[in-house]
Structure 1
Amino acid sequence: MLVSKILMTLKTSSRSAGQVIPFAVSLMGGIVLLPLSGFFYASNVTLGVVLFLVGALILVGGVVSLWLLRVDYPFSILQNTVRPIIEDGDMKSPWPESPSPYWSYVWGSLNTMYSKLREILTHINEHSAVSAIAAACLAKSANDAVAANEENARESAAIAAATEEMSSTVASVSRSISDLQQQTSAASELANTADAHAVNIVKIMRNISSIIAESSHVLAELSESAEKIEDVIVIINDIADQTNLLALNAAIEAARAGDHGRGFAVVADEVRKLAEKTTDATSGISESLKTIRRDSIVAAESTAKSSDSMDEGIGAIEEISQIIHRIKEFNNQISENTLSIASAAEQQTVTVQDITERLEVIAHKVEDMKTASLEFSNQAQSLSLSNEALSSFTTSFDTGDFSSRIREKLRSAAAEAEREMETMLSQGVLTHQELFSTDYKKIPGIEPPKYEAPFTGKLENLFSLVQRTFFDERQMAYFIFENRDGLNVVHNDKFNQPMTGNPDVDVTRNRSKRRFFTTEMEQKCARNDQGILQQTYVRDTGEILTDVSFPVFIGGKHWGVVRCGYGNDVRGGSASCPVLPSASKQLKPVS
């Protein structure tokens, strides 16, 4: 029975010869010395006792060695199994079988615990991914809410400013209406005065017209009287001429009579002189009468013209009076409308004041909402950081799941890129200064902007080759290398199509040589130098991506990262969350 247990122990232990031989020697020594002690005991008691004790001790030592052998081996296997888990987080391999039937219960418990631990880590990883998605959605919603509240605050401020301006405008309109009322009243008074003056002027002009008509009549009569006088003067001239002839005849006759006719000759001469004077006087009167008639005709014509002009003036003034009358009517209508407008403006002032008060309440509410949104955003950010820390913990274990395989690809891609870049440096194809240069030159005529650096052209083929080796389009959205400043040397083939010259097409089809260093997530990714960094974020399209990055070191100096992104749909989950319309414009495009 003892021998069979010993053989079973040796069989299950499967130890090396160097470990089994000391046990076999001690066992054989004990077996040999015990019979010898009985043989020598008969002749020499002391020697027999000594040999017995030595043999017993050797045998006990062998048994103890056998027991230690049975105990040490399982612990050695346990140590070899646990060491990769502790050092590398490697939990891909299954738990080994029990090394001995004696350890079956303990080994089964350890196996169960190991399986449970793998299951727990897998569940934690899965649930942390779901939690990260929820956190990303919350963060996006919080950012959208903050952006929406900021937009609301700006709109409220704009409305308040517009309302204040409208209030000022209404007040200005009220003042203008008041001024207009005063001016309308003044214009009405002036119109009334002008109307009264026009009536008076018409009366005066009618009087003048009557006087002119009378004057014209008098001038006509004067012309007729002058004409009659001229007729009388003609008669007088005839009489004077005849008298002059009679006087001449009388003088001639007196001269014939001699002294007797001398007195008669004197009288005849005086009559002749009187006739001449009469002729001269009538000639002057005739000339004066001609002048009077000529002037009377001219005066009559002027009077007629003045009468016509006066009639035209009276007609114009009557028209002016009618216009003034209409102006008075318009002023009355304007005054009535002005009163209505003034009443409406007063009501509008009250309404604007009410709107202003309500806007102040809304502004306070918006400010409260903004504060709450910022607090919500901070809480969402804290949740994202907690999920990031949880992801950092779970990613330290390799359970062989999807995310573990992704991380292994990144490590291998980083190692491959580091080896090739070190080779390029050693061969002089690339210098250390070029590799770590930050001299980014913007490529003209391209939006969003693209950049060239001293290392982009020399690393483009290398990174493309590494990407094609490790990129899996069925599982990954992108697989890229970028330096510490987020400059993506070359995108994977799907987003590295030839440029077409159409910005709307090229912005999505060619994303190479762009800098993804705008958001906090992109900055943390590019500056990651601590190992695997897993982040979950929401694109501006609403698509949820998990971004995993791993640092790339050249000569012990951090150059950048290799990163990839995949959607949650490749793990059997949802790949999107609601997108608020107001927030889509706030998010920056990411790789």
Structure 2
Amino acid sequence: MAEQTLARTLSVFFVVFICSMLLASLPWQLNMLVTSFLLALLSTLLMFLVGRWLDIRVEQRVSRETQTAESSHINQATKQISLHTSKIAIGAAEVSHFIDTLNLSIEKNGESASQISVAAEELSVTTGQLSDNAAHILLQAQDAERFSVEGRAQAEVGVDTIESLSVDINTAAQQVHALKEKAQSIQNITELINSVAEQTNLLALNAAIEAARAGDQGRGFAVVADEVRNLAGKTAQATGDIAKMLLEVSSEADRTSGLMEQVVCKTSGTVEVMAKLDVSFNQISLSIAQSAESLSQMEEALKESTSTTHEISGSVAQIHDSLESTAEQSSRVSEQAFGLSKTTEGIFTELADFDTQTLDQRVLKQAREGAKQCGALLEAGLVSGKFREHDLFSPQYRPISNTDPVKYSTEFDSYTDSCFPAVQEPILGSHREIVYAGCVDMKGYFPTHNLCFSKKLTGKAEIDILSNRTKRLFDDPTGIRCGQHTQAVLLQTYKRDTGEVMHDLSVPIFVKGKHWGGFRVGFKAT
């Protein structure tokens, strides 16, 4: 009856395991929740299986006859537990590796989200400042447009004024020209008067001569002739003065006329300049208006950009919070996966006392023998003085130059290079599923790896990481536990940095009764 219950439980257990293997096809958010549930269920079923198996052991001890009759069934059940536990351990390793990878991805994405959020916030501040600057420039452009319009209006007034002045000057020039012509007419009249005065003077002179000839009878006439001659002289003098004044007026009129013509020419040029200035003001006004419109559109675009950037920043912050929440969930799932791995380790430890005829049982026997022989070799090295006890239990790890990942030498690794292969290589070659077999100290240091992992360095990382793994510190959680545990056996399941899922079985190595490290045997998980 107990065996039937155990078999049914194994069936349920296996179904749950298959379900857990299908999780890879689910979205990672749902995957996380379902994984957590299934891991908890698997742990419960494992504990139940172990409990039922222990019950069978108790029932077995109660009746020797029953034990003999059912021993084959119990051995078969034990073997099935071992096989299914191995599969669960593989699944737990896959899940654990997936969660670790997911955590790294979440951490990187979280950092990226934080950087994006900061950048978005900085961009929001910058676009806000640009928007303010655009608004300020828009005001300045509007002021410039107003000043341009005012300048254009003033230029138009100036053009009108200058054109009016030009008309006035032209009128004045015409009047000066008319004055010159009148002065010339007066000049002609004065010349005529002067000619008459000269003739009058000649007549008076002739009259005086005739009066002198007449004697006393012509004396009165001589007086009149004298007065006429004096009047003619004064008239000639007056016309001379008038002619002189008219000459000066004519000269001033000519000069004024010339100046007027120059002013007219200059005002004409000024009118042309003012007209061009008016056109320039008009073009400036249009350009400023277009710039103001562009600035207005830019300001609106910057405001929208600022709003959008705020939304992006908020969305990224939500993503960051979601990633943090997911990281917490994945950490819990990782803890559950680790707990499941611990449970499978406990089951393997319990099964170690039974001959299940599985590979892990054969590997366990070889590992125990390897640990015993390597412990004896280290003791022999101490006794022979190859190295000191302090060098063995508290070694100085000296980095080997030009190695990546870094390799280390110690006081004892040259000794182990000479003797460990004789123990390790036969175990490695005993079964095709075994991948590596060797000794590590409590720090995870592998002083002498298998020969297939100790090939000459090529300098190419992708080749050397597979072909030369000796003298490295494997201080990952799996490697550390191999060297530090002191229990009878530890069977771990993990994913290597090469991508393979491995079982790692280790037993402690003691040197002169003191724990030194462990003997590791890695074999493919099937």
Name the TM tier (shorter chain).
0.5 to 0.7
Give the conservation status (yes or no) of the 8 Å contact 1:167–1:353: no
Contact 1:133 1:536 in 2 (8 A): yes
Q: What is the CA–CA distance in structure 2 between the aligned matches of 1:251 and 1:441, rounded to whole Å? A: 154
For 1:113 and 1:476, the matched residues in 2 are separated by: 33
Contact 1:192 1:328 in 2 (8 A): no
Match for 2:469 among 508, 511, 523?
A: 511
8 Å contact from structure 2 (residues 447, 470) kept in 1: yes
- In 1, the alpha carbon distance for the partners of 2:157 and 2:103 equals 82
CA distance in 2: counterparts of 1:233 and 1:407, whole angstroms: 151
2:285 is matched by which residue type in structure 1?
I
TM-superposed CA distance for 1:110, in Å, is 6.5
Q: Secondary structure at the match of 1:477?
A: strand
2:522 aligned counterpart, secondary structure: strand
For 1:286, which of 217, 235, 247 is the aligned residue? 247
The answer for the alignment partner of 1:125 in structure 2 is 82
Match of 2:479 in 1: 522
Q: 1:228 to 1:436 in 2, by over 3 A?
A: farther
Q: Given the alignment of the two structures, is residue 426 of structure 1 paired with residue 373 of structure 2, yes or no?
A: no
The equivalent position to 2:167 in structure 1, one of 185, 191, 213, is 213
1: CA distance, partners of 2:119 / 2:270: 61
Q: Aligned partners of 2:118 and 2:170: how far apart in 1? A: 77
Counterpart pick for 1:553 among 495, 510, 513: 510
Cα drift, residue 209 of structure 1? 0.8
Contact 1:170 1:349 in 2 (8 A): no
Q: How do residues 106-121 of structure 1 correspond to structure 2 at under 5 angstroms? A: 112=69, 118-121=75-78
Contact 1:223 1:297 (C-alpha < 8 Å) held by counterparts: no
Q: Does 1:495 align with 2:453?
A: yes
Once the two structures are TM-superposed, the CA of residue 264 in structure 1 deviates from its matched residue by 6.7
Distance 2:385 2:209 in 1: 171
For 1:218, the aligned partner's letter is A
Deviation of 1:495 after TM superposition, in Å, equals 2.6
Cα deviations by residue, 1:256-304 (Å, 9 ceiling, x for unpaired): 9799889977976786577467546644653453244234313312321
What is the aligned counterpart of 2:275 among 299, 307, 314? 314
> What is the CA deviation profile of residues 455-488 of structure 1, one whole-angstrom value per residue up to 9, with x for unaligned ones?
3344334334443343227222222332221222
Q: Is contact 2:162-2:267 (8 Å) kept?
A: no
1:476 correspondence with 2:434: yes
The one-letter code of the counterpart of 1:324 is: S
TM-score normalised to structure 1 length: 0.61
**What's the secondary structure of 2:247's corresponding residue?**
helix
Do the aligned residues in 2 keep the contact of 1:202 with 1:318 (CA within 8 Å)? no
2 CA distance for matches of 1:505 and 1:262? 156
Q: Is the 8 A contact 1:181 1:338 kept in 2?
A: no
CA contact (8 A) 1:452 1:513 kept: yes
In structure 2, the residue corresponding to 1:511 is in which secondary structure?
A: coil
Count of aligned positions: 456
Q: Secondary structure at the match of 2:515?
A: strand
Evaluate the alpha carbon distance shift between residue 438 and residue 281 of structure 1 in structure 2; reply closer, same or farther with a 3 A threshold.
Answer: farther
Q: Which amino acid aligns with 2:162?
A: I
Q: 1:329 to 1:554 in 2, by over 3 A?
A: closer
Contact 1:248 1:269 in 2 (8 A): no
Q: Which residue in the other structure is 2:6 paired with?
A: none
The superposition leaves residues 156-211 of structure 1 with CA deviations (integer Å, 9 ceiling, x where unpaired) of: 7667767777877887788778x479839x82x87467547635642552343133
Aligned partners of 1:247, 1:439: CA distance in 2, in Å? Answer: 153
Q: Distance in 2 between matches of 1:238 and 1:490?
A: 148
CA contact (8 A) 1:191 1:324 kept: yes
State the distance in 1 between where 2:191 and 2:400 align: 125
Shift of 1:405: 2.7
- CA separation in 1, counterparts of 2:352 and 2:513? 23
From the superposition, tell whether residues 108 and 201 of structure 1 become closer, same or farther in structure 2 (CA, over 3 Å): closer
Deviation per CA, 1:530-560: give whole Å up to 9, x if none.
Answer: 4432111123565320011233333333332
Contact 1:437–1:455 under 8 Å retained in 2:
no
CA RMSD after TM alignment: 4.9
Give ranges in structure 2 of 5+ residues lacking alignment.
1-62
Task: Output aligned runs, 1:231-380, within 5 Å.
Answer: 232-233=186-187, 236=190, 275=236, 279=240, 282-283=243-244, 285-287=246-248, 289-321=250-282, 323-324=284-285, 328=289, 345=304, 356=314, 369-380=326-337
C-alpha distance in 1 between matches for 2:240 and 2:404: 122
Letter in 2 for 1:183: L
- What are the residue-to-residue correspondences of 1:130-141 with 2, within 5 Å? 130-141=87-98
Aligned equivalent of 2:44: none
Paired residues of 2:442 and 2:518 also in contact (CA < 8 A):
yes
Alpha-carbon separation, structure 2, partners of 1:445 and 1:223: 110
Distance in 1, matches of 2:461 and 2:110, equals 34
Higher relative contact order (CA 8 A, sep 6+): 2
- Alignment partners' CA distance in 1, 2:154 and 2:336: 90
Letter of the aligned partner of 2:251 in structure 1? Answer: K
In the alignment, structure 1 residue 467 sits paired with structure 2 residue 424: yes
Structure 1's 182 and 107: CA in aligned 2 closer, same or farther, altered over 3 A? closer
Larger radius of gyration: 1
Q: Which residues of structure 1 form unaligned runs of 5+?
A: 1-105, 574-591
Q: Are the structure 2 counterparts of residues 427 and 239 from structure 1 closer, same or farther at C-alpha, using a change threshold of 3 Å? A: farther
1:37-92 C-alpha deviation (Å, 9 max, x unpaired): xxxxxxxxxxxxxxxxxxxxxxxxxxxxxxxxxxxxxxxxxxxxxxxxxxxxxxxx
Separation in structure 2 between the aligned mates of residue 413 and residue 249 of structure 1, nearest angstrom: 175
Letter in 1 for 2:275: I
Residue 198 (str. 1) matches residue 152 (str. 2) = yes
Residue 395 of structure 1 contacts residue 404 of structure 1 at CA under 8 Å; is this kept in 2?
yes
8 Å contact kept, 1:135–1:384:
yes
Instruction: Give me the whole-angstrom Cα distance separating, in 2, the residues matched to 1:248 and 1:489.
Output: 159
Q: Secondary structure at the match of 2:434?
A: coil
C-alpha change, 1:436 and 1:241, in structure 2 (3 Å) is farther
Percentage of pairs with the same residue: 24
In the alignment, is the contact (CA less than 8 A) between 2:149 and 2:285 conserved in 1?
yes
Q: Secondary structure at the match of 1:202?
A: helix
Q: Deviations over 1:212-265 (max 9, x none)?
A: 133134224414633663575487479769968997998999899799889977
